[in-house]
Amino acid sequence: MSSQNRRHYSPADRLLMQADAALRTLLPFSGHPGRPSPAVTKNDASLNDKEARHVAGLMRINHTGEVCAQALYQGQSLTARLPQVRERMEKAAEEEIDHLAWCEQRLHQLDSHTSVLNPLFYGLSFGIGATAGMISDRLSLGFVAATEDQVCKHLDDHLTQLPLTDEKSRAILEQMRLDEARHSAMALNAGGMRFPLPVKFGMSLLSKVMTKTTYRI
């Protein structure tokens, strides 16, 4: 989009857009995916109660992870300095809405629920994203890459834990894995810094807190 055709939003406009994004992220079934769920063409598996509870716990973790990613991108787009960086954040956030909706649909099919801790994790992630954006776009993009790398590791682990018959959950996680890897590469190619291992280790510890708490609640 040319600079002449690009719409310029006021700070008040952007705050209202952030509030709308938060509601669409946190309210049940309020996010409308731009792509159909990869699960729609897959067979419905017959899972026993133990398997269904475990799959629901995994999908709840991934749903909360997407809540965090959505908040991170929204916070970064609010404070990003370069217009092209802001546009990349907003595009990635749109794709995270797809992931949110897909995970929520699957949880509903499993007669389960999203995490009650989502508002807390949204607020924390939004603050981190906004702070990173205020410091520098390079740091902000680096944070995206490091976060998406963590998400990919979680998805790889969850794919090994799914029952072999659960084609629906597997299709969702595999497509999410492709999207998240692309987001990470996009952030690095746009100039994001590569975080050192101690920082990534700290991020891994924080992600473990999220996964442990949201598996059940």
Q: Which residues contact 185 (CB under 8 A, 6 or more apart)?
A: 145
pLDDT at 10: 67
Provide φ and ψ at 168, rounded to 5°.
-65, -50
Is 96 annotated as contributing to ligand binding? yes
pLDDT at 6: 45
Q: Which of 94, 99, 104 is nearest to 29 (CA)?
A: 104
Task: Summarize the confidence of residues 98-107 as an average pLDDT.
Answer: 95
Is 174 annotated as contributing to ligand binding? no
CB of 92 closer than 8 Å to CB of 145 = no
CATH superfamily of 48-214: Ferritin, core subunit, four-helix bundle (1.20.1260.10)
Task: For 8-25, write each residue's pLDDT tens digit.
Answer: 666 666 666 666 676 667
In the block, which residue shows the tokens 């956030």? 93
pLDDT at 2: 39
Cα radius of gyration (the chain): 17
Token pair, residue 33, equals: 């995916």
Is 104 annotated as contributing to ligand binding? no
Is 180 annotated as contributing to ligand binding? yes
* C-alpha–C-alpha distance, residues 45 and 142, integer Å: 39
Strand ranges, E, within the chain: none
Task: For 166-200, write each residue's pLDDT tens digit.
Answer: 999 999 999 999 999 999 998 898 888 998 888 88
Q: Is the pTM of this model over 0.75?
A: yes
pLDDT at 4: 42
Among 60-64, 92-96, 102-106, 115-119, the minimum mean pLDDT is found in 92-96
Q: Which of 90, 192, 177, 179 is nearest to 136 (CA)?
A: 192
Task: For 117-165, write each residue's pLDDT tens digit.
Answer: 999 999 999 998 889 888 998 888 898 899 899 999 999 999 999 999 9
Terminal C-alpha separation, the chain: 43
Domain boundaries, the chain: 48-214
Is 148 annotated as contributing to ligand binding? yes
pLDDT at 63: 95
